[in-house]
Amino acid sequence: MEERMTSRNGSEDLASDPAGHAGVSEQALLNEILGTPIEYVDSEEFRRAGAERRIFDEAPTVRRADVAWYRPLMDPIGTTSRQPKRRDSIVLTAAEERVIFLQYNYARFRVRRVQDRVKSRRPGPRQRETLLLWYRIAQHLRHRIAEANLALVLAMSKRIRLGDMEFSDLISEGNMALMRSIDKFDVGRGFKFSTYACRAILKGFSRHGSKHLRYRQRFGATYDPEFERSNYPEERRREELLDSADEVKQFVLQNQADLTEVEREVIHHRFRIGPGEAAGLRHERPRTLAQVGKMIGLTKERVRQIQNKALGKLRLAVEESSLPSAERPAFRKGWRKSVG
């Protein structure tokens, strides 16, 4: 009986595993099933003799919903062409809804009946097979019902003013409300599923809007990646380096370090500061030691020695400027000896 039932109601589709259990081992799936009692909407049909045959084998075939029209909404813009949707390819009839919801809840009923029998004991081979079979059938039917009613979420979203809410978040909340509605809908009351689901989807949108409003009230500023990490230390260091460079530049221009003419010329050509800059003349780029040596008639090594001596004078002059006035004469007398 189970083999005929699964072949008629889409066991070939179960291989694609719409419930998302393709990468889960049977033991892990079994532990998950046994760990949570399965809820279902009860019906008198389930306990009558021959219930499985009437609900599955003798029931009319339910059409598979065509959701090709919906997929372009999830794809990047421009990658696919939007296909027109037909009403008869989306919404199930009342008779089809009765069939598929009875099948869905009967599958959950069979899982729950085995759960109640097993309880804390380890299930036997037959019970394991029954649990896995009916659980997968239930998840497959749940997926088919959701596919047939995807348009309800989009239709209800048009009644909502988005404001600053993300459309994708709204659709996600609506899909979650749709899945909860499938689990709780009682087809035996004679109503269409859309009547029940639309109210649940709108209520889900309302909850999402309330949560979003509370979040915005608590966190008024919007997220900006530019403010994620402060670059204040780098900016502060850059300002200090520029200030130090300007201070040294003034020491050179005003010759507060008692540089000789040769030393000033070397500093001017090597670092583009000196008498030439004071007059508004600048080279395109600093010159190398060899280039400066050719200009003033000295070797590269001699130019390097003059440069180091000039830089030493500038360093000592800057250190002297930071001392109190009373200590400067003694400091100057000492560094004059150190630089010769």
For residues 63 and 82, give the distance between their C-alpha atoms in angstroms, rounded to a whole number: 22
Query: Average pLDDT, stretch 7-19?
Result: 46
Q: For residue range 42-65, what is the model confidence (pLDDT) as tens digits?
A: 999 899 999 999 999 888 888 887
Q: How large a percentage of the chain has pLDDT more than 70?
A: 75
Written as six digits, the tokens of 265 are: 């010329």
CATH topology of 157-229 equal to that of 236-339?
no
For residues 19 and 137, give the distance between their C-alpha atoms in angstroms, rounded to a whole number: 10
| DSSP 8-state assignment for residue 100 | H
Written as six digits, the tokens of 253 are: 């221009």
CA within 13 Å, CB half, 293:
12
For residues 143 and 150, give the distance between their C-alpha atoms in angstroms, rounded to a whole number: 11
Query: Average pLDDT, stretch 310-335?
Result: 73
> Where do the domains of the chain lie?
2-148, 157-229, 236-339
Q: For residue range 232-257, what is the model confidence (pLDDT) as tens digits?
A: 778 888 888 888 778 778 878 877 77
Residue 24 has pLDDT above 70, yes or no: no
Written as six digits, the tokens of 146 are: 């959701």
CATH no. for 157-229 = 1.20.120.1810
For residues 294 and 44, give the distance between their C-alpha atoms in angstroms, rounded to a whole number: 108
Query: Average pLDDT, stretch 297-319?
Result: 85
Of the options 1.10.10.10, 3.30.70.2740, 3.20.20.210, 1.20.81.30, the CATH number for the domain spanning 236-339: 1.10.10.10
Residue 22 has pLDDT above 80, yes or no: no
For residues 135 and 147, give the distance between their C-alpha atoms in angstroms, rounded to a whole number: 19
Q: Confidence band (pLDDT; 50, 70, 90) for 315?
A: confident
Could you tell me the CA-to-CA distances from 15 to 6, 8, 30, 136, 224 in Å, in that order?
Answer: 12, 14, 17, 10, 44
Q: For residue range 77-124, what is the model confidence (pLDDT) as tens digits?
A: 444 444 444 544 456 889 999 999 999 999 999 999 999 998 878 888
Written as six digits, the tokens of 276 are: 């030439």
For residues 234 and 239, give the distance between their C-alpha atoms in angstroms, rounded to a whole number: 9
For residues 92 and 194, give the distance between their C-alpha atoms in angstroms, rounded to a whole number: 10
